[in-house]
Chain A
Amino acid sequence: MAAIGTRVLSVLLFLSLSNLASSLYEDQVGLMDWHQKYIGKVKHAVFHTQKAGRKRVVVSTEQNVIASLDLRHGDIYWRHVLGADDAIDGIDIALGKYVITLSSGGSILRAWNLPDGQLVWESILKGSNPSKIMLIVPTSFRVDRENLIFAFAGGCLHAVSSIDGEIIWRKDFAAKSLEVQQVIQAPAEETVRVLGYVESSQFHAYEINPRKGDEIKHVNVDFPGGLSADTVLVSDDVLVALDATRSVLLTILFQDGEINFRKTQILSLVDDSHGVVEILPCKLADMFALKTNKFLVLAKVMDGGVVELVEKIKEAAALSDAVSLSESQQAIALARHENQKLHIIIKPVHDWNIDLLKETIKIDNQRGLVHKVFINNYVRTDRSYGFRALIVMEDHSLLLIQQGEIVWCREDGLASVIDVTTSELPVEKDGVSVSKVEQSLFEWLKGHILKLKGTLMLASPEDVAAIQNMRLKSSEKSKMTRDHNGFRKLLIVLTGSGKVFALHTGDGRIVWSLLVQSLRKSEKCDYPTGLRIYPWQVPHHHAMDENPSVLVVGRCGPSDDAPGLLSFIDAYKGEELDSLVPIHSIVQVIPLPFTDSTEQRLHLLVDANQRAHLYPRSPKALTIFRSEISNIYWYSVEADNGIIRGHVSKGSCSHDEDEYCFDPKDLWSVVLPAESEKIVASETHKINEVVHTQAKAIADQDVMYKYISKNLLFLATTAPKGSGEIGSATPEESWLVVYLIDTITGRILHRMTHQGSQAPVHAVFSENWVVYHYFNLRAHRYEMSVVEIYDQSRADNKDVLKLVVGKHNLTSPVSLYSRPEVTAKSQSYFFTHSVKAITVTSTAKGITSKQLLIGTIGDQVLALDKRYLDPRRTVNPTQAEKEEGMIPLTDSLPIIPQSYVTHALKVEGLRGIVTVPAKLESTTLVFTYGVDLFFTRLAPSRTYDSLTEDFSYALLLITIAALIVAIFVTWIWSERKDLQEKWR
């Protein structure tokens, strides 16, 4: 009977699904999804305000985005996300209408149309050696010039026409072994100057004819002391450099074909400096800035190269480049922190005692320090100079400050999401009445009448718009309490700036944000980076009054063995509860399936020496852990070495007294042959995945048992030649081997070779299957394969009678030490897209059928039904198999345009997809992040367990009322008729 039930259900599901997997109507856009556009941390900014109707600023960011922003509101006019390996090196505006970008290590020069962001031209610059990268766009307003752009990259100077991108001439300096430091094109002069070193001890200056590229003059001077690569151009003919020891400043004057230099001891400028001195790369006009370990030093270069100290700044501060107000006047901005306030001071270069502008702004503490300042001047209504400052903060946010106010602010830290977790919202307390939620009773009534009109098709277009607006702004979805369906949650995201944000799933607003103190640069921790975020404490029954908390794991430095750091954050208040900095190194974090009495989850942190450390460090946790210690296993993958090892805890660490530290014991190892296999991908189950049933009813009333073990590892290796770019290996010398490894015993359960295939491999593991994506060199196409693994040891449990009597082994405990009796089935299909990320939907009980969510190369998310990746598919399925919902076998996977989860939107720079189950079984929440953020709800088998949101209760009520009236009328009618009959 159960089998029939499931069959009927599956048939129903198939029918409901076969129409379209998951598509929505136009008016449903924005109802349950939201999309946020970001640009990332700004590197360069160029203002375009003069003679322009729309004031704008063009920025390039560390996320390789160029964007044109509205200066009034901070909105994006246009935006382009360049590829991950196409970093922007320089940006400028040419001819007043083109945005010029130099990217990819100085090899690609592009011009974009300023108003709409269309690509105008693109030139590939060929260089020979890596070198400094410079983009020089002459600021000449004379039209008769050829409007050349100079790009220095790869040791070559290129002169490019700004009109069509044609390379006019090219001069190779790398051949002369010249390390070019600066290229200058003075507006007053006709020549281009190239300054550089030969072997760090000779200073060379070339003068070049900008029209033809031929050398006009060449002078050089020896510097016996040697030179460092830190240089800054103070004016058109003065260069400031540091010598090789970084203790002497050199001011190099090159006027009229002569080079003079002057040495200044840094100690004479700053008497108490020690440590490394750096020259900041700010263009300050006659001034330069030095950074020592304590101060920011501003100094001025006087006539004859004399260096004079201007100011020493002790606090954290940032400097802008100089802007010219008039022919002779230039101003720079200095932003400094004092008493949690930000001071922006704009001073003219020629007289440091005058403040052109001094503004004090109270700034949110969670924004951290100022990292960059860009200023722009305008003429006020009273003809004086006004300034606006664009500020990049430590949390990557972008602020525009004008007239002492923050005009707008962009939270661009969200463009660099590293990891995501979720937290439930607080339970609704009594006393929140309906009237509070819905503005007033009148509004509430009006809303319902409008809805009724809509369903009865009586609504005018204005009404329809009002209804749509009401639906979009429904306060129901953005309430700060837990809902019955589990749609409302907090998404807690860790970003690259070390800031943690809590976003509301209803509308994507920021509930709180926290710049984690332990993730900021400090003496204890030089280069802190966030790695992962985990739910730490999820209060349940007996700890209900406590707030949930999350654990942020990071490390102080780029390498694996750098010291680690931990931070615990309250998920409701956004406060750091506790932090541990620095601790042992962290290479792996294992959340254990145990919690202590306060519902804190036990975590095992594995360090670089494979020692395991238990957290929380409390005696209770230790007691729980010790009682389970024999059942705790972990493994490590040495990807470079091709060795996988399994470990078990041997007991407390022998070398130190720490009782929360445990020594590992090697249980097993798998050694891959170095000459033929290289690990390219590994994947495991999601920790919180729920599997509803082990049994899978198949067509002919038969049952198969899925091999469900949480301890399976999928591993993909390729031939060392095949791990490079696609096309770097021939089909004969490239292969892909996939493994399913049991991580407790180290047994290889399945091993399979795909000949002529190669990386990149993206994989997803769920229940008893793994789906992976790779490139097939023979077919010149991408392919996706599925491997399903079934348990044969339980295959005999098919007799109903036996099940009733209890003669089965379904309830006996499974031991992984038994010899596994498994079979694996596999099938491959072509898939058109290359893939950026791949994941699977997850629901609360695991009953709903699954969809694969594929982040495509077009930065969209495609939902693909798992039934398309079923190794039992055949070309001609039998009637029974069709009833089961099996799709006839095709050689490629279909891409149905309606099944794009992101519908018309793009999640630029897509990096990851996270699925979270809602409480409602049919529904799963999907959060996609890249440079943009996108959130939606998905119901892979439709919402079979609830009515849709736009279900018309009014219509139902009317129908019921009408029926009741009809019943009464007919009843009276029949009574009357009956009476008449009787009187006849």
Chain B
Amino acid sequence: MEAEKLWRILTAMAVLLLAAAPHHHRAGAFQSDELLIEQEDDLGAAIGGGAGVGVGVDPVTPPRSRKRYSDAAESDSKFQFPLEHAFGDSDFSPAGTFSARLKTWSHGPQTLTKLRFSRNALTEVDKEKFQKLLQDDDFYRIRLPSNVLSPPGRDYIVSSIKARCLPRDGLDEHFVIHMDGVNILAVNYGPPGACPYPRQLKLPAKWSFNSHTILKNSEQAPRTPVFAEEISLGENGEAEVVKPPEKSFWAKYWMYVIPLGLIVMNAVTQAMNMPPEEQGGGQPQGAAPAQRGPAAVRRR
């Protein structure tokens, strides 16, 4: 298991290197699929097919990498596997081919690298069918073999999308192929961006596919934290208890300050209102005790 993990790390790193070499602005692992869209022109030209191709590999996050067995016995072989498509309920017909290199590591696991995709150009019949799909808001379906070495494997991997989601300028499609060794588990197929709900009928300006492809392997689950070391550390250095940063006066006492302010304001407004009252009332009430004497005198 340890070995397998190492191999996965290795492949991921190798693939990372390969992918990173031409794309300098590939920053983090997670942006890989985004950036590739801009690369499609040169790559497409390089392949020379009718369709644009973008291939990225979502790498396995390397948890630990100690050594590199890059010289380990390995072999790679080139091979292809087909993509087939269907319009609505029609039968599947070939739509393109994926080509990749298969790396066989000495330890057993086989991985795919350098995945390329070339799509066949749409024929007139296909275009008509596709237009019909757009009219009916029906499904455009694709399928891949579940095993890339011995297609179709146990069964085909099918995926579908409402045809109206695809047209932009051309027909934009986006594959995320979930792999496990040489097996394809699933393919997430759809437009590279959003497909807003009331799906409007829109015909593409250009009847060719812009394809983006990502290979994905399983992530490793984060390990359960074990705190044995840290507890011992805490026991040794008890004094090193990190105090929370002192808060500002306002942050600490705002709940007292605001009501106080309100009271003060209230008092002020009352004080502002008072003088006219005093004038109208005649008797300044604030001086009541002082006046008591004379008043009493008056009563007598």
A residues neighboring B (CB under 8 Å): 630, 641, 643, 645, 648, 650, 665-674, 676-677, 731-733, 735, 737-738, 741, 745-748, 751-756, 776, 779, 783, 785, 793, 812-815, 817-820, 826-830, 875-876, 879, 889-891, 984
* CA distance in complex: A817, B245 (Å): 47
* CA distance in complex: A793, B142 (Å): 26
**10 closest pairs, A vs B, by CB?**
A813-B197, A747-B188, A732-B1, A818-B194, A673-B183, A671-B146, A817-B195, A670-B186, A828-B224, A753-B218
B226 to chain A: closest residue by CB: A891
Cross-chain contact of B161 among A665, A745, A814 (Cβ < 8 A): A745
* CA distance in complex: A815, B145 (Å): 28
Q: Is A752 touching B1 in the complex (CB atoms < 8 A)?
A: no
* CA distance in complex: A876, B225 (Å): 13
Q: Is B219 touching A752 in the complex (CB atoms < 8 A)?
A: yes
B244 within 8 A of A: yes
Q: Is A754 touching B221 in the complex (CB atoms < 8 A)?
A: yes
B124 within 8 A of A: no
Q: Is A891 touching B225 in the complex (CB atoms < 8 A)?
A: yes
Contacts between chains A and B (CB distance < 8 A), count? 157
Residue-wise interface mask of B (183-217) relative to A, using a CB-CB cutoff of 8 A (1 in contact, 0 not): 11110111111111111000000000000000010
B298 within 8 A of A: no
A830: chain B residues at CB < 8 Å are 224
A668: chain B residues at CB < 8 Å are 158-160, 186
Q: Is B220 touching A752 in the complex (CB atoms < 8 A)?
A: yes
Given A748-B178, A819-B194, A876-B242: A674 and B154 interface contact (C-beta under 8 Å): yes
Query: Which has the most chain A C-beta neighbours within 10 Å: B154, B226, B244?
Result: B154
* CA distance in complex: A776, B197 (Å): 43
Residue-wise interface mask of B (258-300) relative to A, using a CB-CB cutoff of 8 A (1 in contact, 0 not): 0000000000000000000000000000000000000010000
B89 within 8 A of A: yes
7 contacts between A and B (CB under 8 A): A671-B146, A676-B180, A812-B196, A817-B195, A818-B194, A819-B188, A879-B244
B25 within 8 A of A: no
Determine how close the nearest CB of chain B comes to the CB of A7; give it in whole angstroms: 13
B81 within 8 A of A: no
* CA distance in complex: A785, B193 (Å): 31
Q: Is A818 touching B219 in the complex (CB atoms < 8 A)?
A: no
Determine how close the nearest CB of chain B comes to the CB of A114; give it in whole angstroms: 48
B161 to chain A: closest residue by CB: A817
Query: Which has the most chain B C-beta neighbours within 10 Å: A669, A677, A732?
Result: A669
Determine how close the nearest CB of chain B comes to the CB of A772; give it in whole angstroms: 11
Q: Is B153 touching A671 in the complex (CB atoms < 8 A)?
A: yes
Determine how close the nearest CB of chain B comes to the CB of A457; give it in whole angstroms: 36
Q: Is B186 touching A665 in the complex (CB atoms < 8 A)?
A: no
B164 to chain A: closest residue by CB: A817
B224 to chain A: closest residue by CB: A828
Q: Is A745 touching B159 in the complex (CB atoms < 8 A)?
A: yes
Determine how close the nearest CB of chain A comes to the CB of B162; give it in whole angstroms: 5
A753 to chain B: closest residue by CB: B218
B222 within 8 A of A: yes
* CA distance in complex: A751, B184 (Å): 13
Determine how close the nearest CB of chain A comes to the CB of B55; give it in whole angstroms: 17
User: How big is chain B's contact interface, by range?
Assistant: 35 or more
Contacts A819-B192, A891-B226 known; 5 new A-B pairs at CB < 8 A:
A630-B137, A671-B156, A815-B194, A817-B190, A819-B194
Determine how close the nearest CB of chain A comes to the CB of B50; give it in whole angstroms: 24
Q: Is B222 touching A828 in the complex (CB atoms < 8 A)?
A: yes
Q: Is B196 touching A813 in the complex (CB atoms < 8 A)?
A: yes
B139 within 8 A of A: yes
B155 within 8 A of A: yes
Q: Is A819 touching B154 in the complex (CB atoms < 8 A)?
A: no
A651 to chain B: closest residue by CB: B89
Residue-wise interface mask of B (222-246) relative to A, using a CB-CB cutoff of 8 A (1 in contact, 0 not): 1111110010000000000010110
Determine how close the nearest CB of chain A comes to the CB of B254; give it in whole angstroms: 10
* CA distance in complex: A582, B247 (Å): 73
* CA distance in complex: A238, B178 (Å): 70
A820: chain B residues at CB < 8 Å are 188
A779: chain B residues at CB < 8 Å are 224
B197 to chain A: closest residue by CB: A813
B141 within 8 A of A: yes
* CA distance in complex: A680, B174 (Å): 31
Q: Is A746 touching B186 in the complex (CB atoms < 8 A)?
A: yes
A733 to chain B: closest residue by CB: B1
B43 within 8 A of A: no
A820 to chain B: closest residue by CB: B188
Query: Which has the most chain A C-beta neighbours within 10 Å: B137, B197, B226?
Result: B197
* CA distance in complex: A763, B153 (Å): 31
B159: chain A residues at CB < 8 Å are 667-668, 745-746
B5 within 8 A of A: yes
A785: chain B residues at CB < 8 Å are 221
* CA distance in complex: A63, B139 (Å): 50
A755: chain B residues at CB < 8 Å are 1, 5, 220-221
Determine how close the nearest CB of chain A comes to the CB of B259; give it in whole angstroms: 15
Q: Is B218 touching A815 in the complex (CB atoms < 8 A)?
A: no
Q: Is A879 touching B245 in the complex (CB atoms < 8 A)?
A: yes
Query: Which has the most chain A C-beta neighbours within 10 Å: B2, B153, B160, B221?
Result: B221
* CA distance in complex: A570, B141 (Å): 45
A667 to chain B: closest residue by CB: B160
Q: Is A752 touching B161 in the complex (CB atoms < 8 A)?
A: no
Q: Is B165 touching A817 in the complex (CB atoms < 8 A)?
A: yes
Determine how close the nearest CB of chain A comes to the CB of B229; give it in whole angstroms: 11
Cross-chain contact of B155 among A643, A754, A889 (Cβ < 8 A): A643
B181 within 8 A of A: yes
B195: chain A residues at CB < 8 Å are 815, 817-818
Cross-chain contact of A669 among B137, B156, B224 (Cβ < 8 A): B156
A815: chain B residues at CB < 8 Å are 165, 194-197, 199
B95 within 8 A of A: no
Given A667-B160, A751-B216: A673 and B190 interface contact (C-beta under 8 Å): no
Q: Is A819 touching B193 in the complex (CB atoms < 8 A)?
A: yes
Determine how close the nearest CB of chain A comes to the CB of B9; give it in whole angstroms: 13
Q: Is B5 touching A671 in the complex (CB atoms < 8 A)?
A: no
B223: chain A residues at CB < 8 Å are 828
Per the 8 Å Cβ criterion, residues 109-165 of B in contact with A are: 137, 139, 141, 146, 153-162, 165
* CA distance in complex: A666, B156 (Å): 11
* CA distance in complex: A827, B223 (Å): 8
* CA distance in complex: A890, B230 (Å): 11
* CA distance in complex: A670, B176 (Å): 13
B182 to chain A: closest residue by CB: A673
Cross-chain contact of A889 among B181, B194, B225 (Cβ < 8 A): B225
B180 to chain A: closest residue by CB: A673
* CA distance in complex: A630, B162 (Å): 11
B245: chain A residues at CB < 8 Å are 879
B225 to chain A: closest residue by CB: A891
B141: chain A residues at CB < 8 Å are 667
* CA distance in complex: A948, B36 (Å): 61
Given A814-B197, A819-B193: A753 and B219 interface contact (C-beta under 8 Å): yes
* CA distance in complex: A670, B184 (Å): 9
Cross-chain contact of A666 among B158, B220, B296 (Cβ < 8 A): B158
A878 to chain B: closest residue by CB: B244
Determine how close the nearest CB of chain B comes to the CB of A200; give it in whole angstroms: 43
Q: Is B196 touching A671 in the complex (CB atoms < 8 A)?
A: no
* CA distance in complex: A751, B2 (Å): 20
Given A672-B185, A751-B216: A890 and B227 interface contact (C-beta under 8 Å): yes
Q: Is B230 touching A745 in the complex (CB atoms < 8 A)?
A: no
Q: Is A671 touching B154 in the complex (CB atoms < 8 A)?
A: yes
Determine how close the nearest CB of chain A comes to the CB of B261; give it in whole angstroms: 17
* CA distance in complex: A950, B193 (Å): 57
A776 to chain B: closest residue by CB: B224
Q: Is A737 touching B226 in the complex (CB atoms < 8 A)?
A: no
Residue-wise interface mask of B (36-50) relative to A, using a CB-CB cutoff of 8 A (1 in contact, 0 not): 000000000000000
Q: Is A665 touching B89 in the complex (CB atoms < 8 A)?
A: yes
Q: Is B191 touching A819 in the complex (CB atoms < 8 A)?
A: yes
Determine how close the nearest CB of chain A comes to the CB of B173; give it in whole angstroms: 11
Determine how close the nearest CB of chain B comes to the CB of A746; give it in whole angstroms: 6
Cross-chain contact of A875 among B154, B185, B224, B230 (Cβ < 8 A): B230
